[in-house]
Amino acid sequence: MVDGTRPASPLLHLLDNVHPLHEDEFVFAAMLSGWRDQQVSRGLAASTVTSRILFIRRFADYCDKLPWQWIPGDVEDFTVHCSSGEGRLAKSTIRAYQARIRVFCDFITDTRYDWIEQCQKRFGYIPQQICHEWNTTAHIADYEGRPERRALTYDELDEFFGTADARVETIIQSGKKGALAALRDTPIFKTVYAFGLRRAEAVGLDIADLRPNPSASRFGNYGSVDVRWGKGSNGSGPRRRTILALPEFDWAIDGLRQWVELGRMRVTNERRGALWPTERGTRVSLRYLDDRFAEIRDGAGLPKELSLHSLRHSYVTNLIEWGYSEKFVQDQVGHLYASTTAIYTSVGSDYKNRVIARALSRVYGDHNAHL
């Protein structure tokens, strides 16, 4: 120990009087081990902790320096690297990377640990906070996603699902393999749209996650979906929520029912387990869904900027257009903040015109509502 203070790491304490062959790597590993313990103690998900550890190692490799030698210019150089070239990263991703560097530097410069003393004694350098307000990406806009990402129009939705349905018939008539997969893919995309799901939420669904809703008995066992793999925040791990089936999507719910009761048994004999199994007994993958969506999108002649996530945007937009309250929509899609739901909303001209017509009718009377 140093000056009677608590050691930065039990590992350093055990070898305080021993000089490892590669002392710099030894201390860096001890730093990461201590940081891992701190994050686990905070209750962060194991996947979040692991990804942060791996990133800090990657950042150290990029700098070709260890943490007690880092300077603010290293963050700036790394940010320029991430922002340049064909593989440049989104601004939100860069900000997340900078946040990881900041919290790690907070840990190794925290006086409640003795990393500063250890580094001074061993290497003659002390770690510093290299992220500050002048070299990190500010969050100055509510939405930083790609501007071209949007909801599908009603005509585009008709084209997409019409092409998906026709694809099944085409494969069957051609006698080629893949008919069962196509039969499964169509209700997947309809379910994603009908319940506003994220990709991972759809992939993670089990048969047991389909539940009745006493207030909507007409849907039977398909009145709600229990999402167990919802997107978490700040390393919290998956967040659960229940999504209610809505009457505007009864056609999609009928497709889900047909898949569960007729189609799925042709893929697997298991009555439990994954809602969307493959012929090999595994779940469909995220990559698979992206590829199939792109195939159907291109077959329908739709713009290439539309992605599977656009169906979730469409769900939010359509619910607002149909008159559902913002709070209800927010709860359905699992957003913590109403501002996030607002980002997803891109209502069409018809909806705006109806709002204006109602306002004119309220103020001037029905006779002048058309003005």
**Would you list the DSSP string of 280-342?**
TSSBPPHHHHHHHHHHHHHHTT--TT--THHHHHHHHHHHHHTT--HHHHHHHHT-SSHHHHH
**146: which 2 tokens?**
């790609």
- Kindly name the residue from 36, 91, 102, 335 that is annotated as catalytic: 335
On the CB side of 43, CA atoms within 13 Å amount to 6
Euclidean distance between CA atoms 220 and 213, whole angstroms:
8
- Kindly name the residue from 150, 312, 313, 315 that is annotated as catalytic: 312
- Kindly name the residue from 122, 239, 309, 351 that is annotated as catalytic: 309
On the CB side of 333, CA atoms within 13 Å amount to 34
Three-state secondary structure call for residue 219: helix
167 is catalytic: no
**87: which 2 tokens?**
């593989």
335 is catalytic: yes
On the CB side of 273, CA atoms within 13 Å amount to 14
Euclidean distance between CA atoms 147 and 251, whole angstroms:
31
- Kindly name the residue from 113, 222, 315, 344 that is annotated as catalytic: 344
Q: Could you give the angle at the alpha carbon of 222 between the alpha carbons of 219 and 228, nearest 5°?
A: 150
57 is catalytic: no
- Kindly name the residue from 100, 231, 239, 241 that is annotated as catalytic: 231
218 is catalytic: no
344 is catalytic: yes
354 is catalytic: no
- Kindly name the residue from 198, 199, 283, 292 that is annotated as catalytic: 198
Residue written as token pair 């029912």: 257
Tell me the catalytic residues: 198, 231, 309, 312, 335, 344
